[in-house]
Copies of this chain bind each other. A is one copy, B any other.
Amino acid sequence: MGGPLSRNRIVRTAIELIERDGVNAVSMRRLAAELGTGAMSLYNHVPHKAALLDAVAEHILAELEFAADSDIPDWREAARSMARTFRDIAHRYPRSVMVVVSRQPNSAAGLRPVELALGIARAAGFDGPAAVRVMRAVVNYVLGCLVHEASQTEAQWASEDRPLVTTAELDAAGLVNVRELLPALAEHDSEADFEFGLDLLISALDALPRTSPHTAGWKG
């Protein structure tokens, strides 16, 4: 069914399964059934389940490479572009985000976002430890946004638009600010919020003194 078994086909099907039924629904047997084979056949292509999930993370992260545009002269625009690309990919695989994020980023594939961000930081004129700090500031912000949105998405999947928390509970817990701003919290535009924080961070970084000359982004 669907051609010969291969590591790539297994990984792609695993991603489909995660997106359709959630991470917890992924088992070797179910995945094999999806592929029309026996569970043990998978082990000819993947050493164990953890490695499979690593491969899933790697596969998704690999899309960054193709999507990232490294020819943008203005480093602020390049950084924004990379962050948006990252977020777009996360939106394409919403239920896989936590899988990707929770894998240790020490494989060569996991370090690709770091590589790209470091390149941009250096192009902006930051060097050595400064580049690392700048890179981490924006990567961590983006990471937090993705985790946040993934949480929201999963919560939505879990409870089919049933009220997640009642105002009575909020009052009981003394969460007055949440209670008052509940409409603003509920109808918030996560896209706009993402851009807001991103612009803020990048502008602040751009205003920092440099340790080495940079190619673009002087404040006129």
A141 at the interface (CB under 8 A from B): yes
Q: How many chain copies?
A: 2
A window 127-152: CB within 8 A of B? 128-129, 131-133, 136-137, 139-145, 147-148, 151
Cβ-closest 7 pairs across A and B: A144-B144, A140-B144, A137-B197, A143-B144, A118-B177, A108-B173, A106-B164
Question: A90-126, CB under 8 A of B: which get 1 and which 0?
Answer: 0000000010011011111101101100110010000
A181 neighbours in B (Cβ, 8 Å): 118, 128, 131-132
A160 at the interface (CB under 8 A from B): no
Taking CB as reference atom, which chain B residue is nearest A129?
Answer: B184
A51 neighbours in B (Cβ, 8 Å): none
A172 neighbours in B (Cβ, 8 Å): 108
A201 at the interface (CB under 8 A from B): yes
A205 at the interface (CB under 8 A from B): yes
CA distance A147 to B102 in the complex (A): 8
Partner of A184 from the list B108, B131, B176 (CB cut-off 8 Å) is: B131
A39 at the interface (CB under 8 A from B): no
> Is the Cβ of A133 less than 8 Å from the Cβ of B178?
no
Task: State the majority secondary structure of interface residues on A.
Answer: helix
With A139-B144, A155-B106 already in contact, the answer to whether A132 and B204 are too (CB < 8 A) is: no
Partner of A151 from the list B102, B118, B201 (CB cut-off 8 Å) is: B102
CA distance A98 to B87 in the complex (A): 20
A20 at the interface (CB under 8 A from B): no
CA distance A151 to B201 in the complex (A): 23
Cβ contacts A to B, 16 pairs, < 8 Å: A101-B151, A108-B172, A108-B173, A108-B175, A109-B173, A111-B173, A111-B178, A112-B175, A114-B185, A118-B178, A129-B188, A133-B192, A136-B197, A137-B197, A140-B197, A143-B143
